[in-house]
Amino acid sequence: MLGADWGAKVAEASKVFRPSGPGPFPVALILHGCGGKTPFLEAYARVAVEAGWAAVVVDSFAPRGISPLRAKLTVCTGTALQGLKRSADIFAMLAWLEDQPWADPERVFLAGWSHGGWAIMDGYAIGAQAARATGIVDADPLKLRARVRGALLVYPYAAYPSLTSSRGWGAAPESTTTPKVFSVVGGRDQVVGWKYPQRALERLKRDGLAVDTAFYPDATHAFDDDRANDPRAKYRPDLFAQTQGYFAQALAVVRAD
């Protein structure tokens, strides 16, 4: 499938937030976790708007006919729609943005929570095999490199079969750049842990990427989701606010470049 075609389907199910005015605006693509497009992510979208960015809370499940129950039973258990396959949505949304008059498709920020972070990381790690791996025939890793200025990975899944720890994100061609990476890791995360995300981030550092990590020793998985139904998650409004501030700072850093 062509990226613009799949991007249009994904965008139809997604929610767009924009600053006032005609734009074009830089765009933050916000990728949900395995639980789906939950309301707390809209708070992060509003942070982006306040920083002068448009934001799209991307729905990866509705276009695929994945219900919340099915997502919990299959996606959250790793038996369906793993991160690499889901990275198709990133390439597709980059293509879709090219036709949106309010968007600056050359200035994009990727933000992913848990499974969404996995999708972002695998999208970079797969490199030249992106088209074959995602099914998006025009998936272009060079566009991913050239257009994405930064990435926020919030308690990202990084254990097997995630690719970043073993493969890194590869060397950037001279004509492109590597994104600045920002991450949030919880010390009491019983879902993805902290060691696997840290291992993946350390690999990126060794490969020369700029990586900044906010480590919250007492944070569980989904600490910023006040509707998380996982009993291992403990909502922390203080850390939710802190992470929104961290997101705003990351957007400001990459926009200044």
Residue 59 belongs to domain with CATH number: 3.40.50.1820
Determine the pLDDT at residue 178.
79
* pTM higher than the cut 0.85: yes
Integer angstrom CA distances of residue 34 from 16, 80, 100, 215, 236: 20, 10, 28, 22, 20
- Give the model confidence (pLDDT) of 92-138 as tens digits: 999 999 999 999 999 999 999 999 999 999 999 999 999 999 999 99
Q: What is residue 256's predicted lDDT score, i.e. its pLDDT?
A: 77
Tokens representing residue 221 in the block: 């998985």
3-state secondary structure of 137: coil
pLDDT attached to residue 174 = 56
The predicted pLDDT at position 145 comes to 92
pLDDT 10s digits, 27-49: 999 999 999 999 999 999 999 99
What strands lie across the sheet with 180-186, from one edge to the other? 15-17, 54-58, 25-31, 103-113, 148-154, 180-186, 211-216
pLDDT score at 67: 96
CA distance 145 to 11: 22
Give 229: exposed, middle or buried? Use CB within 10 Å, 0-12, 13-18, 19+. exposed
- In this predicted structure, what is the pLDDT of residue 172? 63
* Average pLDDT score over residue span 43-59: 98
Question: Quick one: which of 199, 211, 197, 201 has its CA closest to 250?
Answer: 211
Q: What pLDDT is attached to residue 68?
A: 92
Task: Burial-class residue 49 by CB neighbours within 10 Å (0-12, 13-18, 19+).
Answer: middle
- pLDDT over 90 for what percent of the chain? 94
Q: Cβ distance 149 to 183 under 8 Å?
A: no
193: containing domain: 3-256
- The answer to whether 125 and 163 have CB atoms below 8 angstroms apart is yes
pLDDT at residue 2 greater than cutoff 60: yes
Q: What is the model's pLDDT at position 229?
A: 84
Indicate the burial class of 69 (C-beta count within 10 angstroms; 0-12, 13-18, 19 or more).
exposed
Q: What is the pLDDT of residues 172-211, one digit of tens each?
A: 665 556 799 999 999 999 999 999 999 999 999 999 999 9
Phi then psi for 32, rounded to 5 degrees?
-75, 170
> How do beta strands 15-17 and 54-58 pair?
antiparallel
Domain count for the chain, please give it.
1
**Above 90 in pLDDT, residue 88?**
yes
Q: How many CA atoms lie within 13 A of 222 on its CB side?
A: 22
